[in-house]
């Protein structure tokens, strides 16, 4: 049967996803995985009804102007700050995301970073790799910070924040959180977490985690003022979006030991990042791999494909963010 609708898949995905969508749609597939320029994206999407894309694609007014036939944009990510969802709604374009399937994997990575910074893992490993391990054991070698029984402050207590709190319980950590809307008492009890102000989190936590979606309201949520409130022994972890933390202010705070360290999986201008980070020993840096396990990325891509297919076939997509 001829396939009447065409879709653009902007980045490399899995063969299973191509098979799933290929059964119903004509596909223009950017299998090269080279990120498309705005012009290329608009040109290739102009003849399409839907888009399966990643946060590398900026879907804004320019895109909508050039691609009036696009009715659905399905993002392979839970965050969709790359898309102007309000403009999309005004134009009747459905936007979808992939919540839920990446919570545990992202919480795992967040905890990995927290532990790596606290226990100086990358610094210790490079000492060994560089042949600088001279004494088999030294009482004061590579002293880190305890994770067990430490205080953990989570700013943004959605699904991923809650998955992190679950892990923290295993380490007997004292977990406080701040969220626009506090959790109900039953959920607080379930995760053994206590609601406090953002300022109290910054002032009192050994570890501060930011887990908020990125928007104009959360741009540089953690800046010089907030960093100044943190304990000199505290560690900041960001696995949300780079723009939530003012990187220049963070580098300044790390350089003057205003805080003890940072773990970052996300940056303000990915894949670029401030080169000054490389000169700092007390940071652990990863290239936006929060949800990067095979099973989770497969689940995200399949969920995005399911959203796209449902919307193009006139059904309500499971994860429609701008109804």
Any idea which residues carry the catalytic annotation?
Answer: 241, 270, 288
- Residue 75: C-alpha distances to residues 54, 102, 305 (Å): 5, 14, 9
Length of the chain as a residue count = 323
**Residue 9: φ, ψ to 5°:** -105, 110
- The helix or strand, by DSSP H or E, that contains position 94, with its residue range, turns out to be strand 94-96
Taking the complex as a whole, the smallest distance from the CB of residue 191 to ligand GLV amounts, in Å, to 22
Identity of the residue, 230 or 304, whose beta carbon is nearer to ligand GLV in the bound complex: 304
Residue 139 or 272: which CB sits closer to ligand GLV? 272
Report in angstroms how near the CB of residue 102 gets to ligand GLV at its nearest: 6
Output the smallest distance, CB 77 to ligand GLV, in A. Answer: 3
**Cβ neighbours of 117 (radius 10 Å):** 26
C-alpha 103/C-alpha 24 separation (Å) is: 30
β-pairing verdict for 151-155 and 235-238: unpaired
Cβ neighbors of 104 (< 8 A, separation 6 or more) are 163, 296
Q: What are phi and psi of 189, to 5 degrees?
A: -65, -45
Q: Is residue 235 helix, strand or coil? A: strand
CB distance 118 to 146 below 8 Å: yes
Minimal distance, residue 258 CB to ligand GLV, in Å:
28
Positions touching ligand GLV (CB under 6 A) are 77-79, 102, 290-291
């Amino acid at each position: 049967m001829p396939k009447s609708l065409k879709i653009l898949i902007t980045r490399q995905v899995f063969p299973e996803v191509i098979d799933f969508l290929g059964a119903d749609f004509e596909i223009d597939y950017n299998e090269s995985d080279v990120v498309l320029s705005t012009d290329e994206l608009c040109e290739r999407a102009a003849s399409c009804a839907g888009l399966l894309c990643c946060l590398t694609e900026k879907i804004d007014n320019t895109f909508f102007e050039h691609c009036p036939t696009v009715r659905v944009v399905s993002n392979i990510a839970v965050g969709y700050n790359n898309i102007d969802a309000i403009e999309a709604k005004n134009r009747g374009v459905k936007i979808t995301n992939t919540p839920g399937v990446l919570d545990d994997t992202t919480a795992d990575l967040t905890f990995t970073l927290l532990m790596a910074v606290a226990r100086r893992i990358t610094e210790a490993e490079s000492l060994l790799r560089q042949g600088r391990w001279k004494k088999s054991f030294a009482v004061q070698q590579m002293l880190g910070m305890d994770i067990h029984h430490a205080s953990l402050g989570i700013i943004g207590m959605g699904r991923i924040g809650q998955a992190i709190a679950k892990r923290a319980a295993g380490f007997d950590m004292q977990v406080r959180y701040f969220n626009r809307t506090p959790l109900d008492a039953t959920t607080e009890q379930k995760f053994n977490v206590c609601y406090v102000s953002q300022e109290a989190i910054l002032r009192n936590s050994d570890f501060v985690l930011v887990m908020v979606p990125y928007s104009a309201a959360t741009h540089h949520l953690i800046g010089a003022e907030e960093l100044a409130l943190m304990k000199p022994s505290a560690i900041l972890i960001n696995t949300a979006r780079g723009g939530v933390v003012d990187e220049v202010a963070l580098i300044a705070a790390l350089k003057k030991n205003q805080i003890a360290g940072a773990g970052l999986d996300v940056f303000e201008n990915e894949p670029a990042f401030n080169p000054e980070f490389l000169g700092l020993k007390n940071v652990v840096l990863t290239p936006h791999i929060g949800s990067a396990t095979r099973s989770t990325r497969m689940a995200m891509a399949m969920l995005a494909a399911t959203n796209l297919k449902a919307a193009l076939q006139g059904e309500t997509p499971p994860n429609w963010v701008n109804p």
